[in-house]
Amino acid sequence: MMYRHIGVYLSNNSDKKKLIKQLFSVGLEGFISKLDASEVQLFSSLTIDRLVDEEYRHDRVIVCTDENKSLSTMSSGQQKKALLAYLITFNPNIMLLDDVYSNVDKETQQYMDAEFPLMAARTIIIQLFFRKRDLLSFIDTVLVLNDKNEVSDVYSASDFGLKHHEHSLNVSFELPRAYGQSIEVHDPLIELHNISVSYGDKQVLTQLDWTIRSGEFWQLIGPNGSGKSTLLGMICGDNPKAYGQDMTLFGRRKGTGETIWDIKKQIGYFTPSMVLQFTRNETVENMLISGLNDSVGLYIEPSDLQKDLAKAWVGLLGDAFVGKNFQQLSVGQQRIVMVARAMVKHPAVLILDEPTIEMDDLNSQLFIEMVHAIAANTKVAIVYVSHRDEENLQAQKVFELVKCASGYTGVVRL
């Protein structure tokens, strides 16, 4: 049996990768027949990863644009737009859409919103989605899955939002204490003056100025490819383009003998790609403790104080995380742990780069409450990066990367 257009609503207890394999091997009994790979195109970060791997392994470029000659040179959002344009050329019988709006700027969202209805007129659409608001307008039927990837509920699209309710949060948001002595830092925390960056003959950032002070809550926005990742990498000490720039980080001028660890001990940082770095079988508690030392995994015996602090944070996250191994968690659950890991040391600056990607509605609420607790009860400066507006998360200030004569510059919007 196959409905015309189907939405599959996932929670962070669902195994999305396993589900996609299941759809191509046996389908979803009674609802989606086994998919034939010759008739289906998969619009997913999994497809992007495969194509980028093909570029690296075999020097074979399959998807490119006039501006970017390969997927590996594009930002995440540019990759998704280029992939969609490429898959449309196949005019497939079925298109499997996986978390379509993650990582894409508003212009690309508008492009997708225009393309998908046209595609739906000639192609069967199966949409996998984590957030209710992402349900595409032409979807007819919504299947709700349980944590075993079995269909637990079936709704018409019109009834889905009205009749399906997630479990409410049942956690205390009394923020766990900071660990040890707080580090004395200079305020302003970060001062950037006249920052300009280019890669070869491509100008990315031009004459950018930005000052971040203790306790401020910023949202960093800008279109795909505008240099957000470049800017964050410079602040975190990961991008060598920072050398030779007029940057002062935590009271020290860049290039005056500071080490990368002098910078990192002041910063809590999360971006979704970090999850891939953690491959050891660590408990959730040990993952959180590793955030105190900025280490990829835990290699020393933690103190009783560290264990108590980790236990308090796990209690904040909820029952789904208690006693679990990090590798047992779904991708969305892993990301909420990584967000908590970035917060655990109460850093001077907390940078959250597209943190809600593949988080379901419930864990997105949890993330928002965690950020509110940090903002209300600490002097931590927050830099939140997202193309998508979260209804209940409002930054005090916005730093927007805008197009200028050459590359992008920064504008403060209050």
Residue 195 shares a structural domain with residue 157: no
Residue 25 shares a structural domain with residue 90: yes
Q: By residue range, what is the domain housing residue 129?
A: 6-163
Residue 270 shares a structural domain with residue 209: yes
Residue 354 shares a structural domain with residue 303: yes
pLDDT value of residue 244: 87
Select from 65, 79, 133, 184 the least CA-distant residue to 359: 133
CATH number at residue 153: 3.40.50.300
Residue 205 shares a structural domain with residue 265: yes
| In-domain check, residue 81 | yes
Quick check: helix, strand or coil at residue 146? coil
The enclosing H or E element of 337 equals helix 331-343
- CA 149-151-2 angle, to 5 degrees, is 110
Residue 138 shares a structural domain with residue 64: yes
Per residue in 252-261, pLDDT (tens digit) is: 888 887 888 8
| In-domain check, residue 147 | yes
173: tokens are 């948001």
32: tokens are 């989606």
pLDDT value of residue 170: 59
| In-domain check, residue 336 | yes
Return d(Cα 297, Cα 318) in angstroms, integer.
Answer: 22
Decide if pLDDT at 357 tops 90. Answer: no
Per residue in 13-27, pLDDT (tens digit) is: 888 889 999 999 999
pLDDT value of residue 167: 62
Return d(Cα 409, Cα 404) in angstroms, integer.
Answer: 6
Q: What is the dihedral of CA 246, 247, 252, 254, to 10 degrees?
A: -80
Per residue in 32-62, pLDDT (tens digit) is: 999 999 999 999 999 999 999 999 888 888 9
Per residue in 64-122, pLDDT (tens digit) is: 887 778 898 888 888 999 999 999 999 999 999 999 998 888 889 999 999 999 999 99
pLDDT value of residue 184: 66
Residue-by-residue DSSP string for 83-100: HHHHHHTT--SEEEEEST
Residue 159 shares a structural domain with residue 194: no
Per residue in 210-236, pLDDT (tens digit) is: 999 999 999 999 998 899 999 999 999
Residue 285 shares a structural domain with residue 350: yes
The enclosing H or E element of 413 equals strand 408-413
Residue-by-residue DSSP string for 355-378: TTTT--HHHHHHHHHHHHHHHHHS
Residue 150 shares a structural domain with residue 199: no
pLDDT value of residue 122: 93
Q: For the purposes of burial, counting CB atoms within 10 Å of the CB of 379, is it exposed (0-12), middle (13-18) or buried (19 or more)?
A: middle
Select from 284, 309, 313 the least CA-distant residue to 297: 284
pLDDT value of residue 95: 96
Q: For the purposes of burial, counting CB atoms within 10 Å of the CB of 157, is it exposed (0-12), middle (13-18) or buried (19 or more)?
A: middle
Per the DSSP assignment, residues forming a β-bridge with 7 are 127, 142
Confidence label for 388 from pLDDT (cuts 50, 70 and 90): confident
Residue-by-residue DSSP string for 212-243: E-TT-EEEEE--TTSSHHHHHHHHHT--GGGT
Return d(Cα 149, Cα 10) in angstroms, integer.
Answer: 9
Return d(Cα 224, Cα 234) in angstroms, integer.
Answer: 18
102: tokens are 């993650």
| In-domain check, residue 158 | yes
pLDDT value of residue 189: 95
Residue 55 shares a structural domain with residue 137: yes
Number of domains in the chain: 2
Confidence label for 1 from pLDDT (cuts 50, 70 and 90): very low
pLDDT value of residue 257: 79
| In-domain check, residue 174 | no
Residue 223 shares a structural domain with residue 342: yes
The contacts of residue 165 (CB under 8 Å, 6+ apart) are none
Quick check: helix, strand or coil at residue 147? coil
| In-domain check, residue 10 | yes
Last residue of one domain, picked from the residues 163, 179, 207: 163
Q: What is the pTM of this model?
A: 0.88
46: tokens are 């999994």
Per residue in 134-185, pLDDT (tens digit) is: 999 999 999 999 888 889 999 999 999 777 776 666 555 677 877 665 556 7
| In-domain check, residue 202 | yes
Q: Do 28 and 143 form a contact (C-beta atoms < 8 A)?
A: yes
Decide if pLDDT at 209 tops 60. Answer: yes
| In-domain check, residue 168 | no
Last residue of one domain, picked from the residues 111, 128, 163: 163
Residue 220 shares a structural domain with residue 284: yes
